[in-house]
Amino acid sequence: MAVWIFGRTRWLQRFKLRSSLQRWQYRRLRQFLRQARIRFQFYRNQAGPKSAHHFSPIPNGDPAGLLQDWPPINKAVMQAEFSALNAIGLDRQSALGIARRAEAERDFRPQLQSLTIGLSSGTSGKPGLFLVSPVERLTWAAVILARGLDSISLRQLLLPWLQPLRIALFLRANSNLYEGLGSRRLQFAWFDLLAEPQQLRERLQQFQPHILVAPASVLVWLSKESDGLLALRALRQIFNAAEVLPAADRLAIEKRFGVRPQEIYQCTEGLLGISCQSGNLHLNEDFIYFEKEWLDERRFHPVLTDFSRSSQAFIRYRLDDILEIDPRPCPCQTSRLRIKQVVGRADEVLYFQRSAARDSSGGPGAPGDASAWQPLFPDSVRQLMYSSAAVIRDYQITQYADRLVLQLDLPTTAQSDQVVARIRKDWQQRLKQLQLMCPPIVIQAWQAREPGAKQIRIRSLIKAVDRI
């Protein structure tokens, strides 16, 4: 099964034509939705999904048409209706109990009816529960390997007289998602982010991975803190998983290890995309159908329907993530959507009010009008912070309704007064250019993150209701 998916994904289905990808999606989606209505209690009594459309004999058509009657959901609905949205009717409390016990004991083996129960770290709000079946787990591994391995790594995996391929995974929770995937040709080593940093570094040095998979913050930490202490001689590929990797950090990692980091775009909701051999991120549209909720002409919130997943229903599921599309064709020739970057999450978008100058110039949006607030996307904020003071080791920006709070991690050698003055000035100038009002900027002392905590550099606490 896994070998078939690996072969199909790597060699058979390149989807050079958008039309053939859409035909594939249409057929798969139609079949999946027919079963979903029976499999998941949440949809059994819904009027919409019963529409005759799903039984139409038309062999191909627009996949969006199949979904129009299905209700959009999000993380809150998924957690509230957890038992109705999983295939075995498992209730949230029991699932939470199992997942929490596994987290506390750092023993991620417990399974229920062969399903793996995982708990996502949850950057905002409650942690999310997820279920994965053995087939889904193997599909996950097969797709990552088929799409992610370069030709040398692939050769090493397939040729029995070469060393097995060693993959180091730095992950917040192991869950048995990743255990039992190893084979004679493939060795996985799991590195628990809650372990002592020194211990992690020593184990990594000993393991000598060919491939390193870790969240961006860990890759940055490894590249900065381990100079002279870590020599990864066999390292050939690096993947950033589950965090936004800013361009400046990407360069630092590449400089340190001599390997350009690739992307695995994955979250609780599944494996959404992975870099191709040309180094560009593509969405896994042959497993997931993506609708787009546009924010401007390039950026959107993905609304996903995972037609390869049967343990839990992700149907018209809206993500908080913001993706930026890259309309250029990719040298790898796939027609799967090319993503320029994962810009960030909805709560990383800062909002500023238009300045009076713009209102008097006849622009729409009088004071008090909701449209008078303008978004500043996290990629612009990261760019501003980097170009303002490259000396900053790390930072955290929190926006409140009446102020912007900045925490800066500066080396002791830095002229901190000058850096702070420069950053203030750059913020004021940038917002002025955009004809936006700059709120008071408050500088606070740097507070180090908890070990293993998710990296959150930008956060807006302004709610939509405050912007009215």
Dihedral of alpha carbons 376, 377, 378, 379, sign = negative
Q: Which residue lies nearer to Zn ion by CB, 15 or 170?
A: 15
Q: How far is the CB of 330 from Zn ion (least distance, A)?
A: 3
- Cα(395)–Cα(42) distance, rounded to whole angstroms? 43
Q: Which residue lies nearer to Zn ion by CB, 146 or 372?
A: 146
| Residue 280 binds to Zn ion (criterion: CB under 5 A) | yes
How is residue 81 written in tokens? 């209706």
Q: Which residue lies nearer to Zn ion by CB, 18 or 106?
A: 18
- The residue with tokens 């709610």 is 463
Please list the alpha-helical segments (H only) found in 361-400: 378-388
Q: How far is the CB of 276 from Zn ion (least distance, A)?
A: 3
Q: Which residue lies nearer to Zn ion by CB, 32 or 265?
A: 265
The radius of gyration of the chain from alpha carbons, rounded to an integer in Å, stands at: 23
Q: Which window, 23-31, 206-214, 278-286, 291-299, contacts Zn ion (CB under 5 A)? A: 278-286
Q: Which window, 103-111, 195-203, 273-281, 397-405, contacts Zn ion (CB under 5 A)? A: 273-281
What is the contact mask toward Zn ion in residues 325 to 364, using x (rule: CB under 5 A)?
-----x-x--------------------------------
Q: Which residue lies nearer to Zn ion by CB, 144 or 222?
A: 144
How is residue 252 written in tokens? 């630092």
Q: What angle do CA 280, 281, 286 make, to 5 degrees?
A: 125
What is the contact mask toward Zn ion in residues 293 to 332, using x (rule: CB under 5 A)?
-------------------------------------x-x
How is residue 122 written in tokens? 């949850």
Q: Which residue lies nearer to Zn ion by CB, 132 or 330?
A: 330
Give 171's strand partners.
192
Q: What angle do CA 1, 312, 41 make, to 5 degrees?
A: 125
Q: How far is the CB of 214 from Zn ion (least distance, A)?
A: 22
Q: Which residue lies nearer to Zn ion by CB, 276 or 319?
A: 276
Closest CA to 10 of 158, 103, 166, 149: 149
Q: How far is the CB of 331 from Zn ion (least distance, A)?
A: 7
- Cα(125)–Cα(130) distance, rounded to whole angstroms? 16
Cα 413 versus chain centre, distance: 35
Residue ranges in contact with Zn ion by CB under 5 A = 276, 278, 280, 330, 332
